Amino acid sequence: MSIVDTPERRQLRELTRAFVTREVLPHLDDWERAGEVPRALHETAAKLGLLGIGFPESVGGSGGNLLDSIVVTEEMIRSGGSSGLIAALFTHGIALPHMVAAAGVGVGGSLGGRLGGTSTPGDDYLIQRYVRPTLAGTMIGALAITEPDGGSDVAGIRTTARRDGDHYVVNGSKTYITSGHRADFVTTAVCTDFPGSGELTLLVIDKGLPGFTVGRRLEKLGWHCSDTAELSFVDVRVPVANRIGAEDTGFLAIMQNFAAERLSLATQAYATAQRCVELAVRWCRDRETFGRPLASRQLIRHRLAEMHTRAEAARSYVHEVAGRVAAGEPVVTEVAMAKNVAVAACDQVVDQALQLHGGFGYLRDAEVERHYRDARILGIGGGTTEIMNEIIAKGLGL
């Protein structure tokens, strides 16, 4: 039996599919054009227990681990959702884990443990103030790491936080922030030493604080239903109680959460590939050319067989690595390989799926067109393919 094919996880799949069918599919095209999903969707997902999957019940979650989160992600896309929907609805998956870990509670398959070794005054406060309401769907959180001139260089962050009594004074800017427009708070990486020193701290910054400005809504190639923003901080005073863990533990916290984020993106990639195989098979069975179904032609059948093989192989490898992560194994290299394998499969499959759809595949009315656009970010987010290759090379001792 597959590690994600247990009776409980089959029920979780059924619940997820019913949610997508009832709450998402009738509205997804409208959300794509509006540039965001409604806040009410978060509350609906929370009431069903989907929003809190992978978070402990002790902090307001639904329990489960990384594998359960993978099941939900996979099934949402296989049911006709999209990776853009995942990005919009589950942004808390990258905004909250640092807070939960700082309070000494494991998230998903992590081992937990307090950052910096001891509890800080704000740790339990952050659980009550931000984690519980977000998992209940009444608040939305975002994660702000990337800066306009920083890209993947996390250690080079230049947004600063100067201690001033019971507050930090924050100055700097962030970009490409998923859910940045809708977010009520932003888990923000700041430098508590000189800019670019690598001495990072995580602060939870509330929208609406004086000096905190949410800039223009960024228009993107894909993920249209997921809002993306630029953020600016000018002398923003943030209470010390909003610090996550001890000072200067932010870099470690960010690195620890990368495994789950990268496996989520890998899941989105292979699930998108699987969905596109299903769409292509259906189209090729129904579409006739020169008096025969496309699927009757050997060339088409073999192309579909190759697409299916790539998608299923990627799925199997991601599941194998995810199982090891959930068991607490330090498999940094394997996580990087899993992401690259899944992204490569997705890139190949969605391209072929759109090609098989012909002119219809190029229209906004075609689901495969949305997947084609959405897929392009998966090799960039959470660490680019090139960064993953550097991690893999380091694992080889190079």
**Spatial distance between the Cα atoms of 97 and 90, rounded to a whole number of angstroms:** 12
Which residue among the candidates 32, 75, 147, 261 is catalytic per the annotation? 261
Nearest Cα neighbor of 88 from 27, 129, 148 is 27
Taking CA 368 as the corner, what is the angle to CA 362 and CA 373, rounded to the nearest 5 degrees? 75
Distances in whole angstroms, Cα of residue 177 to Cα of each of 15, 144, 218, 230, 232: 30, 6, 9, 6, 11
Burial (CB count <10 Å: 0-12, 13-18, 19+), residue 90 = buried
**Spatial distance between the Cα atoms of 246 and 70, rounded to a whole number of angstroms:** 30
Q: Given the structure tokens 């004074």, which residue do they identify?
A: 169
27: enclosing H helix or E strand: none
Answer whether 185's CB lies under 8 Å from 141's CB: yes
Q: Is 290 helix (H, G, I), strand (E, B) or coil?
A: coil
Buried b (16+ CB within 10 A) or exposed e, 351-379: ebbbebbeeebeeeebbbbbbbbbbbbbb
Please confirm, yes or no, whether 247 is among the known catalytic residues: no
Nearest Cα neighbor of 191 from 142, 251, 143, 245 is 251
Taking CA 150 as the corner, what is the angle to CA 390 and CA 210, rounded to the nearest 5 degrees? 145
Distances in whole angstroms, Cα of residue 29 to Cα of each of 82, 342, 375: 11, 26, 17
Answer whether 28's CB lies under 8 Å from 59's CB: no
Answer whether 350's CB lies under 8 Å from 272's CB: yes
Q: Find residue 278's DSSP bridge partners.
A: none
Question: Catalytic site residues?
Answer: 261
